[in-house]
């Protein structure tokens, strides 16, 4: 027993470490690991629950393939067995989410805090994107945050003032009459501050309550009810105006509330207008049809233009006229005077003997 606790051990002179045989372990060999469940699970075979923190003698191996590493970080697979039916259950490490991932053999139980964290992250990301796109929205969010902070500071100050007042009352009651006087004298400045703070808070609450108008029995506020009462309802007149003068001196119109008689009158007026319109349309159609019928009854008169008749000459008169023309031509050729006169008249034009 003493040898295993000493720092130096005896090494013989003829010891050669190269002669010590080394065991070769395969890379695919499972490594035993004592671990606890990182989350609660339910077995898929026997439906038994195994809760977070349950200890197991698990086997660990590195994950191979495309999903074996995330950003250079090796992922591992763990093997355990169900405590009831001994079914193998496997789960993996998840470096991306700093968590574990269920693989097979069981189902992971629902965890509320996981959904809450995920929802908070989604809301924060959506709000950041909205503020980045809309500067006015970012300004509104900052203003709301500052107002919320101021309200929290006021509430905290009120709580501190109430606690201080409570301590003063307790110390005064425990110390009797002299203790009350001593505590009042010791807390002269602070007591005034506490009362001032409480009075200011009560005054602010009273102002807020006074500003909020309460609803009456009719479901309206006092101002709305007063406005309704100020409206004057009256019977309709021929002029449509009342004798009550308005603010500018002119008679204000009377608000007339419709009843059953008014609705009947409106219906009758609408019916009369519809009948008048139908009568006008019917008269227009009848007028168009009468015009078309009169046009069809009119007789059709056609006027033809006569040509002038030329006198027809007989064949005998034609021959006599031809003979007369021939005799006239013969007489003109046989008359020398007429021929000389015509030749002398035409001889002065275009002769070749004339000089320039």
| pLDDT, tens only, 13-22 | 999 988 888 8
Q: Which pLDDT does position 334 carry in this prediction?
A: 53
Residue 78 — very low, low, confident or very high, per pLDDT cuts 50/70/90? very high
Q: Are 35 and 55 in contact (CB under 8 A)?
A: yes
Q: What is the Cα gyration radius of the chain?
A: 63
State mean pLDDT over 44-73.
89
| Residue of 254 and 301 predicted with greater confidence | 301
Per-residue pLDDT band for 183 (boundaries 50, 70, 90) equals very low
**Sequence-separated (6 or more) residues with CB below 8 Å from residue 235:** 254, 256
Under a CB-based contact definition with an 8 Å cutoff, are residues 109 and 42 in contact?
A: yes
More confident residue, 45 or 327: 45
Compute the CA torsion angle 119, 120, 125, 128 (nearest 10 deg): 140
Cα gap 61→103, rounded to integer Å: 14
Q: Report pLDDT for 227.
A: 76
Q: Assess whether pLDDT exceeds 50 at residue 182.
A: no
Residue with the bigger pLDDT between 103 and 300: it is: 103
- Of the spans 10-14, 182-186, 242-246, 327-331, which averages the highest pLDDT? 10-14
Query: What are the distances in angstroms from CA 90 to CA 33, 46, 73, 247, 356?
Result: 14, 16, 19, 87, 143
Contacts of 285 (CB under 8 A, 6+ apart): none
If you average pLDDT over residues 302-315, what whole number do you get?
A: 63
For residues 332 and 339, give the distance between their C-alpha atoms in angstroms, rounded to a whole number. 8
* Alpha-helical runs (H) found in the chain: 112-133, 135-174, 176-186, 188-211, 222-230, 260-297, 315-334, 336-347
What's the chain's average pLDDT? 75
138 or 274: which leads in pLDDT = 274
**Comparing 112-116, 281-285, 297-301, which segment has the lowest mean pLDDT?**
297-301
pLDDT of residue 38 exceeding 70? yes
Kindly indicate the confidence band of residue 34, based on its pLDDT and cuts at 50, 70 and 90.
Answer: very high
What tens digit of pLDDT does each residue of 250-280 get?
A: 555 556 666 778 888 888 999 999 999 999 9
Residues 189-238: pLDDT tens digits?
455 566 777 777 777 777 776 666 666 666 677 777 777 777 766 544 44
Q: How far apart are CA 149 and CA 17, in angstroms?
A: 72
Q: What is the pLDDT of residue 137?
A: 80
Lowest mean pLDDT among 112-121, 165-174, 246-255: 246-255
Number of Cβ within a 10 Å radius of residue 91: 23
Residue environment code for 229-240, b if the CB has 16+ CB neighbours within 10 A, otherwise e: eeeeeeeeeeee
Question: Are 74 and 61 contacting, i.e. CB atoms less than 8 angstroms apart?
Answer: no
Is residue 187 over pLDDT 50?
no
For residue 117, pLDDT over 90 is answered with: no
What is the rounded CA–CA span in Å between residue 251 and residue 245? Answer: 4
- Are 141 and 131 in contact by the 8 Å Cβ rule? The answer is yes
CB 75 within 8 A of CB 95: yes
Backbone phi, psi, residue 118, to 5°: -65, -40
Q: In Å, what is the CA distance from 202 to each residue of 148, 155, 162?
A: 20, 12, 13
C-alpha distances out from residue 267 to 19, 237, 239, 272, 314, Å: 121, 19, 22, 9, 95
| Model pLDDT for residues 314-348, shown as the tens digit of each residue | 556 667 777 777 666 665 555 554 445 555 555 55
């Amino acid at each position: 027993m003493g040898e295993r606790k000493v720092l130096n051990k005896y090494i013989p002179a003829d010891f050669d470490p190269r002669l010590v045989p080394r065991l070769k372990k395969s890379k695919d060999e499972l490594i035993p690991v004592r671990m606890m469940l990182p989350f609660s699970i339910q077995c898929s075979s026997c439906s038994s629950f195994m809760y977070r923190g349950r200890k197991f003698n698990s086997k660990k191996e590195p994950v191979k393939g495309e999903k074996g590493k995330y950003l250079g970080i090796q992922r591992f697979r763990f093997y355990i067995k169900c405590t009831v039916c001994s079914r193998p259950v496997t789960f993996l490490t998840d470096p991306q989410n700093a968590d574990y991932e269920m693989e097979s053999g069981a189902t992971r139980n629902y965890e509320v805090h996981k959904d809450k964290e995920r929802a908070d992250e989604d809301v924060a990301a959506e709000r950041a994107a909205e503020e980045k796109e809309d500067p006015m929205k970012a300004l509104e969010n900052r203003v709301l945050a500052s107002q919320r902070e101021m309200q929290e500071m006021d509430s905290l100050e009120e709580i501190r003032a109430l606690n201080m007042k409570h301590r003063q009352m307790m110390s005064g009651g425990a110390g009797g009459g002299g203790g009350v006087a001593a505590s009042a004298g010791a807390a002269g400045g602070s007591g005034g501050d506490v009362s001032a703070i409480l009075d200011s808070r009560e005054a602010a609450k009273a102002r807020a309550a006074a500003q909020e108008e309460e609803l009456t029995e009719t479901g309206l506020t006092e101002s709305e009810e007063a406005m309704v009462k100020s409206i004057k309802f009256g019977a309709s007149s021929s002029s449509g105006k009342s004798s009550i003068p308005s603010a500018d001196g002119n008679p204000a119109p009377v608000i007339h509330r419709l009843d059953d008689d008014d609705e009947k009158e409106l219906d009758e007026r609408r019916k009369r207008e519809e009948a008048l319109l139908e009568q006008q349309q019917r008269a227009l159609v009848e007028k168009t049809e009468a015009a078309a019928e009169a046009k069809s009854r009119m007789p059709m008169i056609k006027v033809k233009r006569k040509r002038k008749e030329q006198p027809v000459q007989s064949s005998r008169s034609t021959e006599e006229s031809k003979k007369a023309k021939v005799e006239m031509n013969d007489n003109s050729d046989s008359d020398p005077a007429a021929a000389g006169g015509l030749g002398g008249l035409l001889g002065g034009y275009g002769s070749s003997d004339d000089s320039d």
